[in-house]
C-alpha cells in the first residue's frame, strides 16, 4: 500500500480561459463594446429604442450564443478562412505533368498546403546523407528519425516512469536560449496490419501435417482479430531554423550552417533517446522521406505482402519530384487526397484528473483503423517562460480583483488556473523546462462512408480517454499537412 501511494501521476494544465476582462475574450469584448457604442449612437441620433437595441442584442448573441458546437463569433474566422481558401488556395487542385525543358525535367508542383517544401540530401557522418524537408518560406530544415521503444504496457510502473523521464530529458535539452531547434515531435501512423504473417503460417499448416482442430481454432481466432490488428509507424522529427543561427553563420554560408545545425541536433536527439532507454534508428534518407510522404498521402495504396516470412510494403522507390499528391479536394469537414479521404482533428482538451503513465494506451491501440496522431513540442526559453508566467498571473489576479469589485464570484476554474501557474513557476525554478505542445489526429479511409464510421469510433475512444477533439473545419488541407512529420504545424496553426 505504501508503494501505491508514492506512484507518480501526470496532470495537464487547464487551458487559459480567463479572458481579458471579467472572463471575456478579446472578440467578445469587441462585439459587446461595439454593440453598446452603436446602440448609444443610434439613441443619440433619435432612433427608436427598439431599433437601437438591435446592435446590442446582436453583439450579445454573437458573444454567448452557440451554433453546432461553436460559439457564434467563432464562425466569423471560420468563414473568413473558408473564403480565403476558396479564393486563394482553391478547394480543388490537380498536379500538372512534369515539365521537360531541354534534357532536364522540372518536378510537378506541390499543392498550396505544401507550398515551399522540397526534399534535399544533407551530408551526414561517414560520407552518408540524410533526407531533410526544406521549407523555403520559413527557412527551416526538418529531419526524420524512426523510433521504437520497449513494450511499455508490460513494464513495471517504475520503468514506465523512467522511460517518460528519458523522453522529457530529450525535450529539455533543446530549450536553451541559443538552441537552433524551433520544434520537435513525433507522429504515429496506425493502420490495419492484416495479420499476413499469421495467415501465411496457417496456409503452411493446412498443407502440412497439422492437427485439424487446432488449425480451425487458430483460423477462428485470426478472423476475429484481423479487423482489430494494427501496425504502427512512429517517426520523430526535429526542425531547425535559420533565424536561430548566429549572425556569423548566416552571413558566411547560411545553407551549410543550417545543415550542420540540423546534423548536430539530430545527433543529440539520437543520443538522448538511446540514453533514455528508447531505440532510434538512422535518419531517413531523401528516398525514404519521399516514400513516407507517399504513404501518408494514401495509406491504402501500400498493401502489405509477405516475403520469406517477413511483412513488407509493396511500395517501391519514389522518383524525385513525384512524391507529392496528384489531386486534392478540400471540403468543409474532410479532404480527399488522391485515393484516400482524411479528416483532421485538433486536440483541444486533455483529461482533467491526474493520469497514470499508460493512460493513452487505449487510444493509441488503433483498433484496426487508419489514423495518424502527431504531437508537436516547441521549446520555450526560460526567460520567456518567466515572462509569460508573470504576465498570466497578473492577468488572473487582476481579473479576480475585478470580479470581486463587481460582486461576481471567483469560480473554481479560475482558482485552478492560478494554481497551475504557481506550480509551473515552481517547476521552472527547480530546473524543468516549459514546452508548448500541439496534438493533431487525422483519420483516413478509402471511402467517405467508411471515414464517417471510423471518425465516430475515434471520437468515442477519445471521450473514453478524456480527450476533447475538434474538427478543423474549413482548414482540412492545412490540418492534414500539419500531421505530416515535416514541421508545418507552427506556421499553420500556432502562429
Tell whether 82 is covered by a domain.
Answer: no
Residues 341 and 464 in one domain: yes
Longest dimension (CA), the chain: 99
Tell whether 470 is covered by a domain.
Answer: yes
Tell whether 65 is covered by a domain.
Answer: no
Reduced to 3 states (helix: H, G, I; strand: E, B; else coil), residue 104 is strand
Tell whether 68 is covered by a domain.
Answer: no
Structural domain containing residue 112: 107-193+231-494
Tell whether 367 is covered by a domain.
Answer: yes
Residues 219 and 275 in one domain: no
Tell whether 223 is covered by a domain.
Answer: yes
The set of cell numbers assigned to 235 is 517517426
Residues 359 and 290 in one domain: yes
Instruction: Mark which of 183, 212, 228 sits at the end of a domain.
Output: 228
Residues 319 and 207 in one domain: no
Instruction: Mark which of 209, 228, 247 sits at the end of a domain.
Output: 228
Instruction: Mark which of 172, 204, 228 sits at the end of a domain.
Output: 228
Residues 391 and 415 in one domain: yes
Residues 223 and 345 in one domain: no
Cβ atoms of residues 300 and 70 within 8 Å: no
DSSP 278-294: -EE-PPPPHHHHHHHHH
Residues 357 and 425 in one domain: yes
Cβ atoms of residues 489 and 399 within 8 Å: no
Residues 133 and 249 in one domain: yes
Tell whether 15 is covered by a domain.
Answer: no
* C-alpha count within 13 angstroms, C-beta hemisphere, residue 17: 11
Tell whether 202 is covered by a domain.
Answer: yes
Residues 356 and 412 in one domain: yes
* Whole-number Cα distances in Å, 118 to 84, 110, 331, 444: 25, 9, 26, 24
Residues 315 and 374 in one domain: yes
Reduced to 3 states (helix: H, G, I; strand: E, B; else coil), residue 234 is strand
Residues 221 and 342 in one domain: no
Tens place of pLDDT per residue across the chain (495 aa) = 444 446 788 888 766 665 566 666 777 778 888 888 888 888 888 888 888 888 888 888 887 777 776 777 778 777 777 887 777 777 889 887 654 544 555 666 888 889 889 999 999 988 889 999 999 988 999 999 998 877 777 788 888 888 888 888 888 888 777 789 998 999 999 887 655 555 555 555 555 555 555 556 555 555 555 455 667 889 999 999 988 887 655 667 788 889 999 999 999 999 998 888 888 889 999 999 999 998 899 888 755 443 333 333 444 556 666 678 889 999 999 999 998 999 999 999 899 888 989 899 889 887 789 999 999 998 888 888 888 888 888 888 888 888 788 787 888 888 888 888 888 888 888 888 888 889 999 999 999 999 999 999 999 999 999 999 999 988 899 999 999 999 887 654 543
As for how many domains the chain has, the answer is: 2
Cβ atoms of residues 348 and 459 within 8 Å: no
Residues 208 and 252 in one domain: no
Amino acid at each position: 500500500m505504501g508503494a501505491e501511494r508514492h506512484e507518480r501521476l501526470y496532470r495537464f494544465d487547464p487551458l487559459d480561459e480567463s479572458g481579458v476582462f471579467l472572463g471575456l475574450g478579446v472578440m467578445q469584448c469587441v462585439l459587446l463594446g461595439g454593440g453598446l457604442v452603436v446602440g448609444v449612437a443610434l439613441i443619440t441620433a433619435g432612433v427608436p429604442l427598439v431599433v437601437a437595441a438591435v446592435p446590442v442584442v446582436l453583439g450579445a448573441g454573437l458573444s454567448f450564443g452557440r451554433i453546432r458546437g461553436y460559439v457564434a463569433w467563432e464562425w466569423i474566422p471560420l468563414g473568413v478562412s473558408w473564403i480565403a481558401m476558396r479564393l486563394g488556395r482553391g478547394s480543388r487542385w490537380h498536379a500538372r505533368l512534369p515539365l521537360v525543358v531541354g534534357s532536364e525535367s522540372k518536378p510537378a508542383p506541390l499543392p498550396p498546403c505544401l507550398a515551399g517544401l522540397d526534399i534535399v540530401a544533407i551530408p551526414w557522418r561517414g560520407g552518408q546523407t540524410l533526407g531533410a524537408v526544406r521549407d523555403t518560406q520559413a527557412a527551416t530544415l526538418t529531419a526524420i528519425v524512426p523510433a521504437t521503444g520497449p513494450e511499455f504496457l508490460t513494464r513495471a510502473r517504475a520503468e514506465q516512469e523512467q522511460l517518460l523521464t528519458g523522453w522529457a530529458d530529450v525535450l529539455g535539452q533543446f530549450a536553451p536560449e541559443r538552441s537552433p531547434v524551433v520544434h520537435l515531435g513525433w507522429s504515429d501512423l496506425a493502420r490495419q496490419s492484416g495479420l499476413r504473417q499469421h495467415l501465411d503460417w496457417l496456409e503452411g499448416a493446412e498443407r502440412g501435417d497439422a492437427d485439424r482442430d487446432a488449425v480451425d481454432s487458430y483460423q477462428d481466432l485470426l478472423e476475429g482479430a484481423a479487423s482489430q490488428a494494427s501496425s504502427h509507424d512512429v517517426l520523430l522529427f526535429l526542425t531547425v531554423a535559420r533565424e536561430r543561427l548566429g549572425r556569423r553563420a548566416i552571413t558566411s554560408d547560411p545553407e551549410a550552417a543550417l545543415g550542420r545545425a540540423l546534423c548536430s541536433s539530430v545527433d543529440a536527439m539520437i543520443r538522448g533517446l538511446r540514453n533514455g532507454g528508447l531505440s532510434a534508428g538512422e535518419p531517413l534518407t531523401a528516398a525514404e522521406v519521399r516514400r513516407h510522404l507517399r504513404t501518408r498521402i494514401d495509406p491504402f495504396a501500400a498493401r502489405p505482402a509477405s516475403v520469406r516470412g517477413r511483412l513488407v510494403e509493396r511500395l517501391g522507390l519514389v522518383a524525385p519530384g513525384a512524391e507529392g499528391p496528384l489531386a486534392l479536394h478540400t471540403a468543409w469537414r474532410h479532404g480527399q487526397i488522391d485515393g484516400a479521404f482524411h479528416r483532421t482533428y485538433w486536440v483541444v482538451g486533455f483529461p482533467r484528473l491526474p493520469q497514470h503513465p499508460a493512460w493513452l494506451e487505449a487510444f493509441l491501440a488503433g483498433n484496426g483503423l487508419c489514423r495518424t496522431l502527431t504531437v508537436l513540442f516547441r521549446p520555450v526559453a526560460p526567460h520567456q517562460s518567466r515572462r509569460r508566467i508573470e504576465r498570466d498571473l497578473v492577468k488572473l489576479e487582476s481579473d479576480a480583483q475585478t470580479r470581486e469589485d463587481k460582486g461576481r464570484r471567483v469560480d473554481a476554474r479560475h482558482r485552478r488556473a492560478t494554481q497551475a501557474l504557481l506550480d509551473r513557476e515552481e517547476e521552472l525554478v527547480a530546473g524543468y523546462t516549459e514546452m508548448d505542445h500541439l496534438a493533431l489526429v487525422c483519420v483516413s479511409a478509402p471511402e467517405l462512408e467508411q471515414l464517417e464510421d471510423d471518425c465516430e469510433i475515434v471520437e468515442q475512444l477519445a471521450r473514453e480517454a478524456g480527450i476533447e477533439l475538434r474538427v478543423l473545419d474549413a482548414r482540412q488541407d492545412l490540418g492534414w499537412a500539419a500531421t505530416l512529420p515535416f514541421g508545418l504545424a507552427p506556421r499553420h496553426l500556432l502562429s
